[in-house]
């Protein structure tokens, strides 16, 4: 009997000690996100989404102007090559490789992309209106035009469409080259050719090429 009483007393003491221990423990307050933390998270997510949207917009605009970019680059190279070819073939004297304002043959400022005239060079005063393969004058004042496949995807059929390059301009700038002494080098000129174009809904774009041409070849 004494043993049983001792066991109950021990159990009671243990229970009371556990209760006192539990009371002595600090109760941790309920935690959660504050309004400021939520607002910061929203701002961070918004910035990330805007960056993704901007990258999509850039990719779409690049796709929309891919064809025009290719044409602009090609027209820059064509003009540059024609000048070197004219020099090599001695079509024109080297002194004529200059802008009109400097006594040369290349018209100053942006010019429409017309076809080469009798001198075989584009960007000069004798440029002529371009024509289609059928012999008709290109639209937009005779600016160069291209015939592209129509809805059937086949070139040379009745549904072909004509793409005008009237929204393109070409600038040929010829400047003298100076020697180390500061004197003009009469046997070398610097050429800069820029082709620019505009397209609805997109900013104007341009492509340039620079080169040096000498009197010798």
Phi-psi category of 22—alpha, beta or left, where left has phi over 0 and alpha has psi -120 to 50?
alpha
Distance CA(197)–CA(160), nearest Å, equals 23
Query: Using one digit for the tens of pLDDT, what is the confidence trace for 149-196?
Result: 888 988 878 888 888 999 999 999 999 999 999 899 999 999 999 999
Q: Name, in order, each residue with C-beta under 8 angstroms of 193's C-beta and a sequence gap of 6 or more.
A: 76, 79, 80, 170, 171, 172, 173, 208, 209, 210
Radius of gyration (C-alpha) of the chain in whole angstroms:
39
Are the CB atoms for 145 and 163 separated by under 8 Å?
Answer: yes
Instruction: Break the chain into its structural domains and give their ranges.
Output: 74-126+166-214
DSSP string, 104-170: SSBPSS-EE-PBP-TTS-TTBTT-B--B-TTSPBPHHHH--EEEE--TT--TTSTT-EEEE-TTEEE
User: Quick one: tokens of 189?
Assistant: 């000129």
* C-alpha 49, offset from chain centre: 23
Q: Which of 105, 131, 114 is nearest to 191 (CA)?
A: 105
The whole-angstrom separation of Cα 124 and Cα 108 is 9
**Lowest-pLDDT range, 26-30, 103-107, 196-200, 209-213?**
26-30
Residue 94 reports pLDDT greater than 70: yes
Which pLDDT band, with edges at 50, 70 and 90, does 2 fall under?
Answer: very low
15/181: higher pLDDT: 181
């Amino acid at each position: 009997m004494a043993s049983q009483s001792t066991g109950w007393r021990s159990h009671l003491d243990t229970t009371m000690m556990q209760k006192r221990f539990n009371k002595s423990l600090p109760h941790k307050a309920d935690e959660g996100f504050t309004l400021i933390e939520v607002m910061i998270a929203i701002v961070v997510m918004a910035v990330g989404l805007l960056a993704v949207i901007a990258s999509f917009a850039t990719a779409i605009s690049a796709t929309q102007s891919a064809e025009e970019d290719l044409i602009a680059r090609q027209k820059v190279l064509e003009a540059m090559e024609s000048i070197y070819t004219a020099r090599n073939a001695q079509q024109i004297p080297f002194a004529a490789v200059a802008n009109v304002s400097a006594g040369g043959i290349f018209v100053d400022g942006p010019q429409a992309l017309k076809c080469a005239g009798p001198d075989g060079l584009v960007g000069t005063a004798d440029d002529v209106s371009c024509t289609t393969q059928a012999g008709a004058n290109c639209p937009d004042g005779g600016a160069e035009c291209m015939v592209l496949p129509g809805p059937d995807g086949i070139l040379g059929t009745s549904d072909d469409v004509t793409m005008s390059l009237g929204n393109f301009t070409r600038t040929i700038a010829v400047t003298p080259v100076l020697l180390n002494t500061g004197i003009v080098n009469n046997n070398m000129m610097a050429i800069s050719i820029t082709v620019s174009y505009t397209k609805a809904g997109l900013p104007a774009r341009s492509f340039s090429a620079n080169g040096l041409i000498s009197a010798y070849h």
